[in-house]
Amino acid sequence: MTDASLVPTARLKGRRIVVTGGARGIGASIASRFAAEGADVAILDLLEGPGAATAARIGASFFRVDLSDEADTRTVLTEAIDSLGGIDVLVNNAGILRFAPLLEITTEDWDTMFRINTRAMLVTTQVAAKRMIAQRQGGQADASTAPGKIVNMASMGGKTGGAGQAHYAASKAAVIALTRVTALELGPEAITANCICPGYVLTEMGAATRTEADVAEWSSYSPLGRLAQPEDVAGVATFLASSDADYLTGQAINVTGGMIMH
């Protein structure tokens, strides 16, 4: 699917949305779909060249951020929200994927994975949720009809694990837990929180290590006989960001082509 094939329905018209890790892959597809649906989008990413190019292509704004740095994350996200005039949806998509045998993972490996995949989500959620709450208290939104929305990117690995993925799988399991607690605590503030658990997605992040044989083998795990494209995940993110998902919260939604069914 290309940008040109999207059929805009304006289901996100006027929504102010921040997407982390939106320079390429799943994040870029999500940002592109949101923009096509009428949202005002800000992309946050460490990759300045690809991020700026994606933002220019879809009519979004771009902010360079190091999500491993708490202070930088808080500062840049605040700047992005201010540029949008507020925030209605936060998509915590940014993350890293690295492999290592369990007995060879160092504590530095572990901490790096959690710092980017999980801790950054805590920081961005705090910043964005506080602004969402302030907006409602200031009369900028009707809490009964326009909940704030937080969409976190977890992984099938966070539910099933996988050899060589102890630190990655654990970080994504933590994302699922964080999402559920976020839903519990922020529900009374009219903020929903859900996460997406993709399976194998054909993105740039995994291109360097996968082979045609890998793709064929992994595809066989799905009843649909194929792997996901980034657009498959973007469609679910669009649903979660829209008013169609106003009564959905605390869920970890599989986008795995049936590779797991729970």
DSSP string spanning 40-98? EEEEEES-HHHHHHHHHHHT-EEEE--TT-HHHHHHHHHHHHHHHTS-SEEEE------
- Domain contains 256: no
* Average pLDDT along the chain: 94
pTM score, whole prediction: 0.93
Higher per-residue pLDDT: 262 or 194: 194
For residues 179 and 255, give the distance between their C-alpha atoms in angstroms, rounded to a whole number. Answer: 17
At 141 the pLDDT is 58
Average pLDDT over residues 195-211: 87
Span of 76-85, 132-141, 197-206, 226-235 with lowest mean pLDDT: 132-141
> Which residues form the domain of 79?
9-200+231-251
% pLDDT > 70, the chain: 94
- Domain contains 180: yes
List pLDDT tens digits, range 146-171.
689 999 999 999 999 999 999 999 99
Average pLDDT over residues 213-230: 95
DSSP state, residue 115: I
Question: Which residues on neighbouring strands pair with residue 174, listed in sequence order?
Answer: none
At 145 the pLDDT is 47
For residues 10 and 252, give the distance between their C-alpha atoms in angstroms, rounded to a whole number. Answer: 26
Average pLDDT over residues 127-144: 81
At 143 the pLDDT is 42
Looking at residue 161, which CATH number applies to its domain? 3.40.50.720
Average pLDDT over residues 198-223: 89
- Domain contains 193: yes
At 104 the pLDDT is 98
Average pLDDT over residues 118-141: 92
- Domain contains 221: no
For residues 244 and 240, give the distance between their C-alpha atoms in angstroms, rounded to a whole number. Answer: 7
Q: What are the C-alpha distances in Å from 191 to residues 18, 170, 230?
A: 15, 26, 26
**Segment holding 252, helix H or strand E:** strand 252-255
Which pLDDT band holds residue 138 (cuts at 50, 70, 90)?
confident
Span of 3-12, 30-39, 138-147, 181-190 with lowest mean pLDDT: 138-147
Please report which residue ranges of the chain form alpha helices under DSSP H: 25-36, 48-58, 70-84, 107-114, 120-137, 157-160, 166-186, 204-207, 212-219, 230-241
List pLDDT tens digits, range 18-76.
999 999 999 999 999 999 999 999 999 999 999 999 999 999 999 999 999 999 999 99
What is Dmax (Cα atoms) for the chain?
Answer: 56
At 262 the pLDDT is 84
Which pLDDT band holds residue 208 (cuts at 50, 70, 90)?
confident
DSSP state, residue 247: T
- Domain contains 73: yes
The tally of domains found in the chain comes to 1
Q: Is 200 a catalytic residue?
A: no
At 140 the pLDDT is 66
At 232 the pLDDT is 98
- Domain contains 15: yes
At 139 the pLDDT is 74
At 144 the pLDDT is 43
Average pLDDT over residues 131-147: 75
- Domain contains 131: yes
